Amino acid sequence: MRLQRALAQAGVASRRAAEGLIEAGRVTVDGQVATLGMKVDPDRQRITVSGKPIHKVEQRWLAFHKPMGVVTTASDEEGRRTVFDFIREPRGLTYVGRLDVNTTGLLLLTTDGEAVHRLTHPSYRVPRSYTALVHGLPTEEIEAATRKRVLVDGKPVVPSRVRVRPGREGRSILDVTLTEGRNRIVRTWCEAMGLKVERLARIAYGPVRLGELGVGASRPLTEEEEAAIYKAIGMGGSRPAGTPGRRAQGSRPAKPKRRETRHTPRKRG
């Protein structure tokens, strides 16, 4: 396999980040500085990153309910708590899609760097669903605004699903699903429509839903959820044999939601 894929599968970094390590000359194969795109056999060759040999890690997938004020990073210069402070045995884990410090909700973590690359790459169009508490316009005007073409940094934001509901004390609840992950995209999209975001939570990433997972808690993905993720990114059957997904007690397999293109509230009958 290509070297960057071997690094990703070992949990060193995503494939794109692994390419950066190789280009920086920090990776060696059998004592020789590696080159981008070279093919390796991780079972027979010694691969090091910054002088440290890589080792295979047990494949893991976790769903984590990120609290407010926690940063999505491995370490923080300001001393704030990070998502990895909440995870038992975080070795080899990396997050899928950053959540900013004031956004709560579902964060996926895994040791599969190649899957991280595909889940976050725009070409795979993996849906992310959010719920936002907003104010600034009446609910009816927000609903009308979501139907219009809104640009963020010169590019249109194209939700695959939008639902607007009235909240309390002049607020509105905005449910939105996007297939892109630009930095702070939901907040900037709302701001472009003249809205102020009071609270924002991610409630689903691909086929995995937050459900009733408590704030600050994590759980292993079910075998069905893992299979659905790999199917969504064209890696069906990529989970190594002997590492079945573990079902959390009382949890149910997540069912992928039907994609909607309507921008009006759905009626329930």
CATH code of the domain covering residue 155: 3.30.2350.10
87 exposure class (CB count in 10 Å sphere: 0-12, 13-18, 19+): middle
Q: What are 212's two structure tokens?
A: 């009733």
175 is written with which tokens? 């449910």
Is residue 75 domain-shared with residue 47, that is, in the same domain? no
User: Is the dihedral angle over the CA atoms 188, 189, 191, 195 positive or is it negative?
Assistant: negative
What count of Cα atoms within 13 Å lies in the side-chain half-sphere of residue 204?
22
Shared domain check, 218 and 118: yes
In a domain, 70, yes or no: yes
Q: Any residues with CB less than 8 A from the CB of 134 and at least 6 apart, and which?
A: 142, 171, 172, 173, 174, 190, 195, 196, 197, 198
pLDDT tens digits, the chain, 269 residues: what are they?
889 888 877 878 777 788 999 999 999 999 999 999 899 998 899 999 999 998 877 889 999 999 999 999 888 889 999 999 999 988 888 899 999 999 999 999 998 888 998 999 999 999 999 999 999 999 999 999 999 999 999 999 999 999 999 999 999 999 999 999 999 999 999 999 999 999 999 999 999 999 999 999 999 999 999 999 999 999 875 554 334 444 333 333 344 444 343 444 444 44
Please give the backbone phi and psi of residue 216, each rounded to the nearest 5 degrees, phi first. 85, 0
Q: Are residues 115 and 212 in the same domain?
A: yes
Task: Please tell me whether the overall predicted TM-score, pTM, comes out greater than 0.85 for this model.
Answer: no
Tell me how crowded residue 239 is: count the other CB atoms within 10 A of its CB. Answer: 19
Same domain, 105 and 221: yes
- Does residue 260 form part of some domain? no
CATH of the domain at 11: 3.10.290.10
The question of whether 41 is a catalytic residue gets the answer: no
Asked if 28 and 21 count as a contact pair (C-beta separation under 8 A), the reply is no
Residue from 100, 112, 153, 175 carrying the catalytic annotation: 100
Residues 66 and 171 in one domain: no
What domain range is 220 assigned to? 61-122+208-232
Residue with tokens 């293109």: 261
